[in-house]
Every structure is written in C-alpha cells, then in structure tokens.
Amino acid sequence: MKIALINENSQKKKNNFILNVLEKVAEKYGHQVFNYGVSEGKEADINYVGAGLLAGILLNSHAVDFVIMGCSSGEGVLISANAMPNVYCGYVSDVVDAKLFAKINAGNAVSIPFGKYFGVGTEFQLESIFETLFTTPFGEGYPSERREIQEEQRKELELLKQTSQINMREILEEIDKDFLYQIIHNEYFEENFFANSLDDEISGLLKDLFDAWV
C-alpha cells in the first residue's frame, strides 16, 4: 500500500518526527510512505484547505492508496478532505478512533490532531494509532452483527458523494490556479506524483500546468 503523509504549515516543525514514526510502523507491513507534508526543509506551504485538496488529487489519481493527514486540531483538514470526491476521511485522535474507523467506516484517509501529540509518550501514542490502522481489518463491522448495515451505509455515502460533488478533474480545471500552484508546485510533488499517478487525465492536466508555470 502507498501511503501519503500530509500535514499543513502549522505543524511543519513536527513533520520529520511524524514521518519517522509512520515509516517505522508502515515498513513492518510492507507499506511505502510518501511525505507530501510541509516541513522545514521543503518549499511547499500548504494550509489546511490545501491539504484537503492535495489528498483529493492523490487519492483520485491513485498515486496513493491511503492518506494520513492532520493539522493542529485535526478538524480543518477533516472538513477540507471530505469536501473532495472519493475521499472518506475520519477523525482519529486515539487508538479507539482508529479501530472504529477501520472496522465501521473503512475510509481512505484519517485526520489526526497533531497539535495535541507532542509531549511525553508522543511517539508511543502515534505508533499505536498507526499500528491499529495497519492491522485492523477494514470494513469487518463493529459490533459484528451490524456489519451488513454498516456496509449498506458506506454504499449510501458513496452514492451521496457521487451525486453531490463534481469530479476531481473538474475541480482542477475550475480552482484558482494561484492556490493550486502553492500546493503542488514543488520538486517533491513533481517527482513523486507523476511517477505514481494512474489517472492520465489528472496527470496530463497537472503536467500542462507545470509546463505553463515554468
């Protein structure tokens, strides 16, 4: 599984720490991590709105399979991500949240309140959350007797998003290009996105923009 880490600009000093913990857990299960988050060593300056847009680009293009993201509270990124088509983001602040999200919601992104996770035991807290996400069978239901009901509700949510949101390509065509530039116009995005995207239309649209910006 390909996993993206996206943290917005208020958490950039914590990016390397979060990345190290995430990679430590992900590699145990054969997952690959791509650090799209804002850090002190990168040019990217992404706010929580941009983080949600970036998650939408990565998931709709299938450049990654899962996104771990967050801001100070986790709320802004959560709202922004769920505004994107085909993004099903849950709020995860502890191990119980992570397990219930996996079992019941079986989404493709989580928003973590990174602002609350820095103090004694932070590494263990984050490691436990990541371990839970990577070891809990997604969609098995909880409690088990509600599995069929929860599966049906996930289908209803998918239909709701399909009928209430425009697709990712339309978003990229309509969105303010200066805002989009700020989010994706950096060396890391260019190297990793185009090598992993499976959607030729999204890739082509963004490549045209990159060429126009040069």
pLDDT the model gives residue 186: 83
Alpha-helical regions (H) of 61-146: 75-82, 95-100, 122-135
Q: Which domain holds residue 50?
A: 2-213
Count of domains forming the chain: 1
- Scanning the structure block, which residue is given the tokens 């990577």? 134
Residue 29 near residue 65 (C-beta atoms within 8 A): no
The CATH code of the domain that includes 98 is 3.40.1400.10
Instruction: State pTM to two decimals.
Output: 0.95
The conformation of residue 116, written as its DSSP 8-state character, comes to G
For position 214, what pLDDT does the model report?
Answer: 64
Considering only residues 211 and 21, tell me which one the structure prediction assigns the higher pLDDT: 21
